[in-house]
Structure 1
Amino acid sequence: TSERILGGLSEQGAPVPQGTAAVISDPVKGNVSEADVSGAAGPLPKAPEPAQIEVLTNPSAGQAAATPVQNISTGIVSAVSGATSERLSSAAAEQGAQLTLEVAAVIGDPVRADVTEAQPVGPDSGNGQSPFSLAFLVNLSGLIGGAAIFFLVGGAAERLEARSLRTSRTGLWTVRLLLGLAYALLIAGAELWVAFGLLGVEHEASTAQVYLFLALATTAAASVTMLLAVAFGPAGIGISAVLNVILGLVSSGGLAPLEALPPFYQAYADWLPLRYVIDGLRSLLFYDGSLDAARLEGGWRDSLWFLGGRSEAARLEDAVWMVGAYLVGAATLGYLISLVRDLFARRERPKTGKVAKAAG
């Protein structure tokens, strides 16, 4: 039975979390096979009913997580039923009991799964994948918008300097941040119009709450991209694409449960803003903002102790803290880099002026 369960998951391409294989291989841990089935033979007062094991599923976690978990859980129930059936059939054969069709049917499958959705989602939720889809769109929009703003402002600064008009790196960074905010407000509105207006994606929190969170997340994503571009030039945009989009797509938990990912991706997920954007959107769309969705763990718990970091499950506010921390951190580092470059530029100007006078 365990081979059938694991084989079925492999055929579906579903990852199996660490430690789950051991549970599947021996789900009953010998308890059923060692049970003593005894008693005198005699007619049953009524046909027995199979035992029911309730299997709780959470579709709001997304199809990538809910489907493998349901398959594993129902597979374990099937294994328990098979072991129980084998023991009961052996006991009946030893006693020479004559089984009616009704009794034989129950003994053939004595334990059955009763699948219940603990947090059902509607038909317009993309099988629970709407938070991931929106979050990934936010991340990608932030990357594209941040790159566009970086080049537009840089080009405008070059044209001004060509006219002998001085510009400061600090001023340019301020302009980039303001444009990033305006861009995020527009993009968040467009995303909500498509998601809620055209596609009818279901949501429990108000539209205003979702809009503000999307705007915050888009601003943070654009600011991080602009920061890397300011620090490393155009190559910084590629760095942002790798760290936030490519690795983020794998480590976010949207395509596969975090518990099923390799240790590297699990550790990286704790530092990844996309993961917390997904947590926040899942809370807003399915739990009215009350889900204990985000966690401050590992490095974040240690480095953000001043933000009230804690190891226990946190609520939507912590997802906001995490995304906000990225925004504030990117803005602050951008100003520091700009200030340092402005200082170096001021030191170079007197030297340039002296050389020009000497040449004259």
Structure 2
Amino acid sequence: MTTSEEVEITRNPRLRPRAWLAPIVVLTLFMALLGTMYLDYVVDPEKNLHDFPIALVNQDEGDVTGPPDAQQKVNFGDQIAAALKQGIPADKVELRELGINEAELQMQNGKVYGTIVIPSDFSKRLGILGVGSVIPGDIQKPTITLQTNPRTGAFVTNIVQKVGNEALTQVDKQVGEQLTQQVKTQLIPPDGGPAPELTGATRLALANPVDIIVEPFRQLPSGTGEGLTAFFYALLLLLAGLVGSMTIHTMLDAALGVVPTEYGPWFVHYPRTRISRFKTLLIKWGVMVLTSLVVSGVFVLVGKGLGMSISNSAELYLFGVLAIAAVGITGLSILAAIGSAGLLVNLILFIILGLPSSGGTVPIEATPPYFGWLAEFEPMHQVFLGVRSILYFDGNYQAGLARGLWMSLLGLAIGLVLGLLVTRFYDRRGLHRGSEVVVGQ
């Protein structure tokens, strides 16, 4: 470097070392936000659990117990339901008492993550167990079924099993104590003498009288990545729109001569094309729409080629076109509105805030409450719901597809209106992209 160049660097305030602090500060703040969002949503799901929906179905019809002259109606199912409502923390789990049909409907729509089912013959079987424990013969333990809903998310099943097993194990213990005491009372002789001692095998059988059966409501087919393909497919759609908007913005600006282009050691800067901001944005939007039509098809073909379970290719393709176009057009409008700063804004909006609030891995109800607020409008969550509905719930509108469609259309409309208003305003004010503003001379 020559002496004159060294002097120029010293005199130019934009080349002084303190000016280099700006990107360091920006990146530090950016990464602090990234680290907070990504770690906060996954570090302790059990601590963050709130409003986690689980259905409780009590079909127990009760039973009649006691000697013929003093029979009484009992319903152990009601007692267990009451114990579950008392034992499961209400601030963490939303326990919904439903009929079997309504519970199955909510499971099919992805509205609840699991169901606890007490069968109709529960009290009868429990009574038979009490009698059979001291009388020879074959008996079967009463059962309670814990149904999981693996189609709602990969991590959901683990939470349902943990919550359900902890609560039902405690209930099983309480029922065992009550049944043991009941059997001891029945063994007291009429003359009031001491009751015979229960054998060890009898005490063991009565201590844990309930069989807890854990089973999936609708098992996921192969090729679903244990419920993760919906999340990653939604992520691909978001990235296609985001990266597509950045790429189209940069390459078309270079072709129009707005910004230079570097290819290795070669530096190219085409003559600037005289074109309004609005027309430039229209061209970028058009390229984005064409890109979404192609890329969405590529994703479907790649998924099928890799053995991914896709039952409705056409629906997935069309939803993918909408999602990519909505994200890409909105991203281009933000870039048109605020320029290069739009790159960071788009990353924050679509990726940093979007991924942890998507509900694709850890459910929203197992993350800090502010993620639930973000999920109301963040694009990633809406796209995930739509993709999950198509892949796992047969395109059921109630399972998230309706929300995914309408929110994607709303996002597309916001992007179109934002781009239209901002670029037309800039053009009318004469703020053309050919105008140069020199600062700090």
User: Are positions 1:229 and 2:346 aligned together?
Assistant: no
Match of 1:326 among 390, 407, 411: 411
Whether contact under 8 Å (1:60, 1:286) holds in the other structure is yes
List per-residue Cα deviations over 1:254-294 (Å, max 9, x = no partner).
Answer: 12111222221111110112111111111111222125123
| Gap change, CA 1:155 and 1:61, over 3 Å in 2 | same
The whole-number CA distance in structure 1 between the counterparts of 2:402 and 2:433 is 46
Residue 9 of structure 1 is matched in structure 2 by none
Match of 1:112 among 211, 231, 242: 211
The whole-number CA distance in structure 2 between the counterparts of 1:174 and 1:19 is 44
User: Are positions 1:177 and 2:278 aligned together?
Assistant: no
Match of 1:191 among 262, 284, 299: 299
Match for 1:188: what amino acid?
A: S
List per-residue Cα deviations over 1:3-40 (Å, max 9, x = no partner).
Answer: xxxxxxxxx954352267xxxxx74738xxxxxx9x99
User: Are positions 1:53 and 2:53 aligned together?
Assistant: no
- Stretch deviating more after TM superposition (69-78 or 141-150): 69-78
| Gap change, CA 1:127 and 1:91, over 3 Å in 2 | same
Residue 124 of structure 1 is matched in structure 2 by 223
User: Are positions 1:203 and 2:310 aligned together?
Assistant: yes
List per-residue Cα deviations over 1:19-73 (Å, max 9, x = no partner).
Answer: 67xxxxx74738xxxxxx9x99994363443221111211101111222112211
SS across alignment from 1:276: helix
Whether contact under 8 Å (2:277, 2:424) holds in the other structure is yes
List per-residue Cα deviations over 1:132-177 (Å, max 9, x = no partner).
Answer: 1110121122111111111112222226996464101111111111
User: Are positions 1:18 and 2:32 aligned together?
Assistant: no
Match for 1:241: what amino acid?
A: L
Match for 2:237: what amino acid?
A: V
User: Are positions 1:44 and 2:152 aligned together?
Assistant: no
The whole-number CA distance in structure 2 between the counterparts of 1:183 and 1:164 is 25
Residue 306 of structure 1 is matched in structure 2 by none
The whole-number CA distance in structure 1 between the counterparts of 2:131 and 2:172 is 23
Structure 1 stretches lacking a partner, 5+ long: 1-11, 21-25, 31-36, 295-315, 353-360
Residue 233 of structure 2 is matched in structure 1 by 134
Whether contact under 8 Å (1:251, 1:265) holds in the other structure is yes
- Once the two structures are aligned, what percentage of the paired residues are identical? 27
Whether contact under 8 Å (2:133, 2:206) holds in the other structure is no
SS across alignment from 1:158: coil
Q: Which has the larger radius of gyration?
A: 2
Residue 73 of structure 2 is matched in structure 1 by none
More strand by share: 2
The whole-number CA distance in structure 1 between the counterparts of 2:50 and 2:140 is 35
Match of 1:152 among 247, 251, 273: 251
Whether contact under 8 Å (2:133, 2:205) holds in the other structure is no
More helix by share: 1
The whole-number CA distance in structure 2 between the counterparts of 1:67 and 1:225 is 36
Aligned pairs for 1:303-342 (under 5 A) are: 316-342=401-427
Match for 2:313: what amino acid?
A: T
The whole-number CA distance in structure 2 between the counterparts of 1:269 and 1:202 is 26
Match of 2:374 among 268, 284, 295: 268
CA-atom RMSD, angstroms?
A: 3.3
1:109 Cα deviation from its structure 2 partner:
1.9
| Gap change, CA 1:276 and 1:97, over 3 Å in 2 | farther
Whether contact under 8 Å (1:177, 1:331) holds in the other structure is no
The whole-number CA distance in structure 2 between the counterparts of 1:163 and 1:115 is 69
List per-residue Cα deviations over 1:201-239 (Å, max 9, x = no partner).
Answer: 1133x2111111111111111122212211111111111
SS across alignment from 1:114: strand
Q: TM-score, normalised by structure 2?
A: 0.62
Q: TM-score, normalised by structure 1?
A: 0.75
Q: How many pairs were matched up?
A: 306
Structure 2 stretches lacking a partner, 5+ long: 1-42, 53-82, 88-126, 189-194, 260-268, 437-441
1:242 Cα deviation from its structure 2 partner:
1.2
Match for 2:319: what amino acid?
A: F
The whole-number CA distance in structure 2 between the counterparts of 1:236 and 1:346 is 18
